[in-house]
Amino acid sequence: MSPSELRSTPAPDDGLDTVEIREGTIRLGQVLKLASLVEDGVEAAELIRNGLVKVNGEIEERRGRQLSAGDVVEVNGARVQLVSRG
């Protein structure tokens, strides 16, 4: 999925930012970069390796984990939820 297929927007009601995706899945490393939770893939890999990234409330150790609409990613207290572009 390319950066043009994603957009990060603040959700006004619960403070949880959203990342819009097209149908299907996206890798965790891509979400971290495109939601501006990390600056690059190296930083994403380091955070994941050190157990600092959660997906749906659980620590995730796979940078390539496939995520889909509804998943919530958390890094250092910042949270984003994937939503389907519709």
Is residue 78 predicted with pLDDT exceeding 80?
yes
Average pLDDT along the chain: 85
Is residue 2 predicted with pLDDT exceeding 80?
no
CATH superfamily of 3-84: RNA-binding S4 domain (3.10.290.10)
Tokens of 25: 């899945």
Tokens of 75: 């890094």
Dihedral Cα 41, 31, 16, 55, nearest 10 deg = -90
* 10-27 per-position pLDDT tens digit: 444 466 899 998 878 999
Q: Which amino acid is at 57?
A: G
Tokens of 42: 């190296």
Give residue limits of the domains in the chain: 3-84
Report yes or no: 65 and 56 within 8 Å, Cβ to Cβ. no
* pTM score of the predicted model: 0.81
